[in-house]
């Protein structure tokens, strides 16, 4: 049995991992899927100053209040930014760091440094034009997402606080725990996470490729379970 904690992606929340919960439980694992401030069921707490640091603290607080140790921390997509910060601030609690088709940042980087400048500009403009003035409108889900999953997930995908993408990650040092990268082979439009996967290969992390688009916890949960089981057994 392993303790898995998820740092979820942008526009998303803990709800997105509901298919994985019974699978992980049946495999004997605990799966914690907290939601960041300003998203999902915590959308009512959103404000213009919600940042990457806020989201890092959200996850650190769960680890501390629930007294979770020997944690396998999964960062999905934007959650790679969050998970890297958590692994720095809660070093004694983290056993393994898993990037699931995610940004794998270094000290001083923000999401807006890791996407093309035109995409960053479009996101900033979207936030400025939004009803709140700080929420980046949700991006579309991958085209191979089944219609029933689109119908379930799309209405729950809420605007992402823009400051979460502009905040630069602050690390005291690189995470010292083992790291694994899970790369979604069905990249869709643009290979946003290819550079992060390339970093993982270059630095000798264990790398898996999964037959899925960007959200395997939704579109191919069995394949993701198989990889997570293997990681837990290491």
Q: pLDDT 10s per residue in the chain (234 long)?
A: 899 999 999 999 999 999 999 999 999 999 999 999 999 999 999 999 999 999 999 999 999 999 999 999 999 999 999 999 999 999 999 999 999 999 999 999 999 999 999 999 999 999 999 999 999 999 889 988 999 999 999 999 999 999 999 999 999 999 999 999 999 998 766 789 999 999 999 999 999 999 999 999 999 999 999 999 999 998
Question: E strands of 22-173, at which residues?
Answer: 30-32, 71-76, 94-100, 135-136, 160-161
Q: Which two tokens stand for residue 129?
A: 């034009």
Give pTM, 2 decimals: 0.97
Q: Which two tokens stand for residue 34?
A: 């907290």
Dist CA 127 CA 118 (whole Å):
14
Which residue in the block uniquely carries the two structure tokens 């270094």?
106
Dist CA 146 CA 225 (whole Å):
19
Q: For the chain, give me the number of helices (H) and strands (E)? A: 10, 8
Give the chain's domains with CATH numbers: 3-233 (3.40.50.1820)
Given the residues 77, 138, 196, 213, select the one marked as catalytic. 77
Strands 160-161, 135-136: pairing kind? antiparallel
Q: Which two tokens stand for residue 178?
A: 């083992």
The answer to whether 12 is a known catalytic residue is no
């Amino acid at each position: 049995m392993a303790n898995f904690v998820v740092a979820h992606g942008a526009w998303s929340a803990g709800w997105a991992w509901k298919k994985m919960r019974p699978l992980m439980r049946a495999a004997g694992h605990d799966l914690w899927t907290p939601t960041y401030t300003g998203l999902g069921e915590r959308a009512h707490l959103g404000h213009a100053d919600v940042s990457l640091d806020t989201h890092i603290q959200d996850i650190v607080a769960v680890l501390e209040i629930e007294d979770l140790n020997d944690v396998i921390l999964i960062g999905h997509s934007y959650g790679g930014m969050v998970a890297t910060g958590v692994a720095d601030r809660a070093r004694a609690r983290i056993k393994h760091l898993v990037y699931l088709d995610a940004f794998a940042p270094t000290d001083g980087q923000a999401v807006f440094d890791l996407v093309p400048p035109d995409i960053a500009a479009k996101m900033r403009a979207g936030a400025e034009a939004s009803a709140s003035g700080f929420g980046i409108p949700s991006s579309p889900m991958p085209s191979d997402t089944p219609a029933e999953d689109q119908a379930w997930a799309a209405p729950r995908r809420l605007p992402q606080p823009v400051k979460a993408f502009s905040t630069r990650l602050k690390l005291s040092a690189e995470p010292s725990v083992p790291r694994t990268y899970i790369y979604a082979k069905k990249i869709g439009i643009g290979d946003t996470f290819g550079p992060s996967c390339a970093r993982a290969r270059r630095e000798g992390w264990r790398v898996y490729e999964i037959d899925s688009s960007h959200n395997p916890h939704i579109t191919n949960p069995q394949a993701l379970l198989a990889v997570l089981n293997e990681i837990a057994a290491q």
